[in-house]
Amino acid sequence: MEENISEKREKEAPETNAKEPVSEESLLNGEKRERPEKRDRNEDSISIKASSESNSLQDMSSLKTNKRKRLSQDRVGQLEDLIALDDKDASSWLKLIMEYKDKNKIEEARSVYERFLKVFPTAAQQWIDYADMELTNNEFIRVETIFSRCLRSVLSVDLWKFYLDYIRRVNNVSTGGAQARSVISQAYEFVLAHVGIDKDCGSIWSDYINFIKTAEIIFSHILFLK
């Protein structure tokens, strides 16, 4: 009877899934297995960085290779390569513009001016040169479009003087009479409202005063003749 009870207790006793204790050596081995993984990740990061730098160097090398392939007389291509390497290279931009202007390739020069002014939007002298190129070719609508784009954002006295010269050129007082004088007078007031306090604006004030005096003399002469 006792033997049966003992056997029954042994059968009913819960089985234990005892795990073997983790030895210090196992932990150390485990740490040793994790460390190579960390090194692998670092190596991957270094590999990616090296690959990126390699691609960048290849791009630069490609540009330099293309530059070497240019013929010696391909001045435009050489300048375009320099601009591709550094779009802030103003000297190369201006040389490229002159290259086209010297060959009377106005459309190409116009295109380069547009590209240049996207990089240097406040370059007053280049706005003046651009407008002057169009004026030389009697492209009056293009000239006025250029003025509408740059005058308010580029407060350069030289640029505004060029604008006044243009207004006086297309509004001849001798042939336009009172209407031409009115347009010119309004242009002076417009200019002085924007750059009149500039220290370099003295000549514009003097021109405006002389213009008013001349207009008064002409008006008095007309009245006398009547």
What pLDDT is recorded for position 178? Answer: 86
Structure confidence by residue, pLDDT tens digits, 168-216? 999 988 888 889 999 999 999 999 999 999 999 999 999 999 998 887 6
Say whether 8 sits in a helix, a strand or coil: helix
H helix runs in the chain, sequence order: 2-12, 24-69, 75-85, 90-102, 106-119, 124-136, 140-150, 157-170, 173-195, 202-225
Spatial separation of the C-alpha atoms in residues 87 and 142, rounded to whole Å: 26
CA-to-CA separations, 106 to 23, 92, 115, 136, in angstroms, rounded: 85, 18, 14, 11
- Please state the rounded mean pLDDT for residues 55-69: 53
Structure confidence by residue, pLDDT tens digits, 6-44? 554 555 544 444 445 444 444 344 444 444 454 555 555
Structure confidence by residue, pLDDT tens digits, 70-113? 877 789 999 999 999 999 999 999 999 999 999 999 999 999 99
What pLDDT is recorded for position 70? Answer: 80
Determine phi and psi for 5, rounding to 5 degrees: -65, -40
What pLDDT is recorded for position 62? Answer: 53
Structure confidence by residue, pLDDT tens digits, 128-154? 999 999 999 999 999 999 999 999 999
129: its two tokens: 């040169």
What pLDDT is recorded for position 26? Answer: 43
